[in-house]
């Protein structure tokens, strides 16, 4: 591997190195640069293989288009789960809990759209909707009224969205009015079962939409699920930030890494004139992240088109909208953080490799 040679000697930068740097800068994804490796068989100038840390279809397509002879490989990915799990039908590299101190801040919206962005980047993605107070993922994915099949009355086959995202939800299985009044132990048991008894198969990422709040249910769940880390979703106003702070404290208490904070509804973009306004205040998420020692993974705007897409349960228009870019970037940042976590964690549950050429 000759990457260090390229980096220390500007004159020796090959065309592929330069072009990838420019591509990443255009995508605002420079943070991935240090994770890419270049291999050459003879001299550093003759790159023969590029090794990418995780799925990034756009970069892969770019390399293939511009450098047909160069091989692309994905690096060995270790699972970074904090404990082994009992689901023998699942090989999952990263399980991520998505939490919010408060309901209505866009936790489910963020879960669904992050899953979309990760799937679009080429990853295998699953979503587990554990929000017993309002399981809205089936509606958002347009899967309302459907039910997972079971082969033996126990193991469930997750539903699949048009984008290939595997999904299971407490909303498919029980009357939401009933689930919302479950006591803590019952809710945690049911949700852990939902994780364990779904045939997730091979996944790069399983995103778990937790119930909002920081009570008994959330605490037990975060302790019983095999997590790589957690994301906290908030909106910028003080009243939501105070609860987001509690969510961060909850994860700290149970030793689960908060991989990032996402500020939703950061700015409002007027659908008529494009005017940008900080309806819920400015910089709240950034300030909270700074105070709590976590990083902001990204910002997503308050946009009427986004609300319509979610409520209609149809992704038409999503990938062409300007807000998709925000989710794409957050997805890449999340992938990077999880990759780095997996590298840093000695204990891993599974090993697998994806090779393209
Ligand atoms: P939570 O899971 O935190 O309870 P949801 O994701 O269900 O919140 O979102 C609550 C409502 O707000 C939904 O109708 C959703 O479509 C809408 N919403 C969420 N985020 C946005 C956004 N950035 N722009 C517009 N509407 C949004």
Locate the ligand 1 atom nearest the alpha carbon of residue 323 and give its number.
23
DSSP string, 223-292: HHS--SEEEEEE-SSHHHHHHHHHHHHHHHHTT--EEEEEEEEEEEE-TTT--EE-TT-SSHHHHHHHHH
Read off the pLDDT of each residue in 258-286 and give the average, rounded to a whole number. 89
Which of the following CATH numbers is that of domain 90-344: 3.40.50.720, 3.90.1150.10, 3.40.50.300, 3.30.750.24? Answer: 3.40.50.300
| CA–centroid distance, residue 310 to ligand 1 (Å) | 8
Cα–Cα distance, 331 to 242 (Å, whole number): 25
β partners of residue 91: 202
47 lines ligand 1 (CB under 6 A): no
pLDDT above 50 for 355: no
Cα–Cα distance, 48 to 61 (Å, whole number): 16
108 lines ligand 1 (CB under 6 A): yes
In this predicted model, what pLDDT tens digit does every residue of 92-134 receive, in sequence order? 999 999 999 889 999 999 999 999 999 999 999 999 999 988 8
In this predicted model, what pLDDT tens digit does every residue of 201-254 receive, in sequence order? 999 999 999 999 998 889 989 999 999 999 999 999 888 889 999 999 999 999
The answer to whether the CB of 121 falls within 8 A of the CB of 332 is yes
- Whose tokens are 């994905």? That residue is 74
Locate the ligand 1 atom nearest the alpha carbon of residue 103 and give its number.
4
pTM (predicted TM-score): 0.92
Residue nearest atom 24 of ligand 1, based on CA coordinates: 302
311 lines ligand 1 (CB under 6 A): yes
Domain boundaries, the chain: 11-74, 90-344
Stated as kind and residue range, the H or E segment containing 196 is helix 184-196
In this predicted model, what pLDDT tens digit does every residue of 275-286 receive, in sequence order? 888 888 888 889
Cα–Cα distance, 216 to 258 (Å, whole number): 19
Tokens of 338: 């999880």
Stated as kind and residue range, the H or E segment containing 128 is strand 125-129
Locate the ligand 1 atom nearest the alpha carbon of residue 309 and give its number.
16
- Probe ligand 1: pick from 141, 280, 307, 317, max atoms within 8 Å of CB? 307
Tokens of 98: 């998505």
């Amino acid at each position: 591997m000759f990457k260090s040679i390229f980096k220390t000697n500007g004159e020796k930068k090959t065309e592929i190195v330069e072009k990838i740097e420019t591509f990443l800068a255009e995508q605002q994804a420079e943070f991935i640069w240090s994770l890419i490796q270049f291999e050459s068989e003879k001299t550093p100038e003759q790159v023969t293989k590029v090794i990418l840390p995780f799925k990034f279809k756009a970069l892969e397509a770019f390399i293939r288009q511009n450098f047909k002879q160069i091989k692309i490989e994905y690096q060995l990915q270790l699972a970074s789960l904090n404990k082994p799990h009992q689901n023998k039908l699942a090989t999952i590299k990263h399980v991520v809990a998505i939490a919010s101190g408060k309901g209505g801040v866009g936790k489910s919206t963020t879960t669904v759209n992050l899953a979309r962005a990760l799937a679009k980047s080429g990853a295998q993605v699953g979503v587990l909707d554990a929000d017993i107070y309002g399981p809205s993922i089936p509606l958002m994915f347009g899967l309302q009224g459907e039910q997972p099949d079971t082969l033996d009355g126990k193991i469930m086959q997750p539903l699949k969205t048009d984008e290939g995202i595997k999904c299971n939800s407490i909303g498919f299985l029980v009357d939401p009015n009933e689930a919302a009044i479950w006591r803590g132990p019952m809710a945690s048991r049911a949700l852990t079962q939902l994780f364990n008894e779904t045939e997730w198969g091979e996944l790069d990422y399983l995103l778990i939409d937790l119930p909002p709040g920081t009570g008994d249910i959330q605490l037990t769940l975060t302790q019983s699920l095999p997590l790589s880390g957690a994301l906290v979703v908030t909106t910028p106003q003080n009243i939501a930030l105070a609860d987001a702070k509690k969510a961060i404290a909850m994860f700290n208490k149970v030793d689960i890494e908060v991989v990032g904070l996402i500020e939703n509804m950061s700015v409002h973009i007027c659908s008529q004139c494009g005017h940008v306004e900080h309806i819920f205040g400015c910089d709240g998420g950034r300030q909270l992240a700074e105070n709590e020692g976590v990083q902001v993974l990204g910002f997503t705007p308050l946009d009427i088109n986004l609300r319509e897409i979610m409520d209609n349960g149809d992704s038409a228009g999503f990938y062409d909208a300007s807000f998709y870019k925000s989710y794409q970037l957050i997805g890449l940042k999340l992938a990077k953080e999880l990759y780095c976590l997996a590298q840093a964690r000695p204990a891993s549950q599974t090993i697998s490799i994806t090779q393209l050429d």
